[in-house]
Amino acid sequence: MLDLLFSFEAWASLLTLTALEIVLGIDNIIFISIVTARLPMHQQPFARRLGLGLALLMRLMLLFSISWIVGLTQPAFSIFGWVVSWRDIVLGLGGLFLLAKATIEIFEMTEGRVETSRPGSTTMAAAVVQIALLDVVFSLDSVITAVGMAEHIEIMVTAVVIAMIVMLVAAEPTARFVNNHPSVKMLALAFLLLIGMALVGDALQYHIPRGYLYFAIAFSAMVEALNLMAARARERHRQAQTAKAGQAASDPAGEAAAGEGEASAADAGDPAPPAGGTGTAGAASAAEEERETAGR
């Protein structure tokens, strides 16, 4: 054990395996976020922690049963020359379940059936059962990858625990982000369809390199992030234009009211002109009348 602490190969293997376990856990986080979104709001954080805790427990149990894991990859039976192992069966069933679940969710979103997908539309028991079923599939895939990349059980366990801690930290913000943005949720469901198809392909012994899948997921996520940024920019521009139009509409009314006030004040302060005329001509006419009256 102490030799591993001073081994460069052991540290390199740990870092590589930890990064891979985190990447492999993304689909698990997405699925847990979608399933727990149907629970009442106060139960969702506990359900997410419970689901990830079950995933960690499942992975550790499988890691300490490496001989059983290796046995799962051995041929179990054959059909017309097609050799089937128990791993193929588990991955195939998990992939079909993932395809069915994602398809149902997409159908309900596109049909606008919010009553079946709103918080409180499912129970804790139903959510835990679905999470546990998929944890078996994801854990099996993850552990087989770990066994193929590392030679020491200590490195495998450490990598799995570190990856699970990262997933626990990222679960809450990821779930809020996915559930608050319908377009992101639709994209996440498309990811689950892609992963389910890859699992079915593995079961049929047609392996799809995971690098292609995760590149497609990363590229789609980047495009969606740009769409969200553009939507926020449009909203800020629209609000600025609305505020500017409202200010422009209110200014003329204020100026007109001020002008009317000044005109009223001027009218009230100026005395009425005399009846005999206005200005100098009126004053001269009044003086001439006074002289004529005095002469008489």
15 residue type, one letter: L
Poorest-pLDDT segment among 95-104, 117-126, 273-282: 273-282
Give the relative orientation of helices 8-36 and 124-149 as an angle to the nearest 10 degrees.
160
Is 50 exceeded by the pLDDT of residue 277?
no
184 residue type, one letter: V
pLDDT for 158: 83
How would residue 4 be classed by pLDDT, with cut points 50, 70 and 90? low
Element (H, E) at 46: helix 44-63
277 residue type, one letter: G
Chain mean pLDDT for the chain: 75
Is 47:118 a contact under the CB 8 Å cutoff?
Answer: no
Is 80 exceeded by the pLDDT of residue 227?
yes
257 residue type, one letter: A
pLDDT for 279: 46
3-class DSSP state of 209: coil
The strand pairing partners of 79, in sequence order, are 82
Is 72:141 a contact under the CB 8 Å cutoff?
Answer: no
pLDDT for 143: 74
Residue environment code for 18-48, b if the CB has 16+ CB neighbours within 10 A, otherwise e: bebbbebbbbbbbbbbbbbbbbeeebbeebb
Is 23:98 a contact under the CB 8 Å cutoff?
Answer: no
Calpha distance 284→203 (Å, rounded): 119
Query: Which are the contacts of 4, defined by CB distance < 8 A and separation ≥ 6?
Result: 10, 152, 154, 155
